[in-house]
Amino acid sequence: MLELIRRNRMLFSAAGVLLLLVLLLSLRWSNPGNARFIDESVYAIAYPFQSAYHRVTASFRSVFEHYVALVHLKEENDRLTLRVRALEEELNHHVNSAIQFDVLREQLGFLEENPERKVFAEVIGESASSLYQLLLINKGLLAGIRRNYPVVLREGVVGRIQSATAMSAVVELITDRRHRFPVMIQRSRDQLETAGEGGSLRLVVQDRGVVFGLGDELRMNRIRMLADVQPGDRVVTSGLAGIFPKGLLVGTVASVTRERHELFQSAEIRPAVNFRKIEGVFVIIRDAKDINSPLFTDQ
């Protein structure tokens, strides 16, 4: 019995207090003269329970209010986070627009300097393979673009049109391993032209060669051993292949290799164009009869 009471003492205590309150209320009803004393006794007994109930309800109310405040705070935080992301995207859009504007403004100067017909196209894709160096542009046959048309930028040669559909075209970069085209050293070309002025004659070997792609770089081969090729020389298109007009800048000589037992020397060429940052290109639209006519001067 004692063990039962010990285990359920809280229940028995509450039952005892409840029984005492019932007895006091019964006495109040049966003996109205002692009503004040009985009321005070009831209040004294009930006060601890009322106080505990008040504290518990106040605590629950405070917890609930804090929970509601936290929910509202989280909602506000989520809303502000979304707003910040939207503003960041808008800022990024404006920054990109400003960069594109600067690029197009520079290229506009290129158009004004060279009035030949050109079509500007945006780059919308590139080859994922390291074997091929290709770009996909958003202009094609409907814009007058055809296979083997030269692709350029203000900085220099980009490549040629490999294939075209109605609304797009594939550009084969000059760094593609399949690409070959004839070039010459600009400095020796100037010397050759000077040697013929005024009827004077002197031997000048024009430094011609063939450039082919190495994936990320360029190499110039088949340069005569007598040719004077030096690091820093500008390499331009010779116009002999029937694709690139004469005088387009290809790059600069980075280093020269000369072997005694070889008939020709070779050179590493640093491309004039940064192919990793191309966002748009110009496709030169030229008639077949004009394909070999000079496009730029070498001055």
pLDDT score for 243 = 87
Q: How far is CA 34 from CA 17, 18, 23, 28, 111, in A?
A: 20, 20, 13, 7, 112
Burial of 42 (0-12, 13-18, 19+ CB in 10 A): middle
Between CA 223 and CA 228 the distance in angstroms is 9
pLDDT score for 118 = 85
CB 240 within 8 A of CB 180: no
CB 205 within 8 A of CB 227: yes
93-97: list long-range contacts, CB under 8 Å, 24+ apart.
none
Instruction: Tell me the domains of the chain and their CATH numbers.
Output: 114-299 (2.40.10.350)
Q: How far is CA 117 from CA 83, 249, 279, 283, 297, in A?
A: 46, 18, 20, 9, 17
Angle at CA 51, nearest 5°, toward 45 and 53? 105
Digitized pLDDT (tens) for each residue of the chain, 299 residues in all: 555 555 655 665 666 666 666 665 665 555 655 555 555 665 666 666 667 667 777 777 777 777 777 878 888 888 888 888 888 887 777 776 666 666 666 666 666 666 668 888 999 998 867 778 899 999 999 999 999 999 999 899 999 999 999 999 999 999 988 888 899 888 876 544 444 444 444 444 457 888 878 877 899 988 888 888 889 999 999 888 788 888 889 999 999 988 777 788 889 999 999 988 888 899 998 765 554 444 443 33
